Amino acid sequence: MNFMGSLESSVIDAIFGGCFGENCEKYPFEMLTFTEQIWRTWLNPGSNLNRYRITDYRRAFQNYFKKVDIAVLERDRFAFELVRNRICPEFITGDVETDAATQIRVVAYA
């Protein structure tokens, strides 16, 4: 992500969802069960599905903005718990409230 340019006095207010489409609604965390190599080699469609989690968004925005606020708008604890033991460790923070997020709002201030 490159947010550089004329953002010195800008505020970014954006909503991100982890997954889109019918399968994602049924299985919102399934894409987190595959290793990076399997994902990139066999499963990632041409649209390059985003597997970013809250920590990834925070890190990306903090690289370019002085203040970053992230709020969870939606979470699906039930769906998360169904696949929790299969999710790759790099996608788990240990906080179910964070890990079960399916939609977030990011507000970043320059």
Q: Are 21 and 49 in contact (CB under 8 A)?
A: no
For a pLDDT cut of 90, what percent of the chain falls above it?
Answer: 55
Could you tell me the pTM of the whole model? 0.80
Mean pLDDT, residues 30-54: 84
Record the tokens describing residue 36, joined without a space. Answer: 């990076």
pLDDT given for residue 19 in this prediction: 60
User: Residue 4: is its pLDDT beyond 60?
Assistant: no
pLDDT given for residue 33 in this prediction: 94
Residue of higher predicted confidence among 63 and 21? 63
Distance of alpha carbon 45 from its chain centroid, rounded?
17
Residue of higher predicted confidence among 30 and 24? 30
Domain boundaries, the chain: 11-109
pLDDT given for residue 9 in this prediction: 54
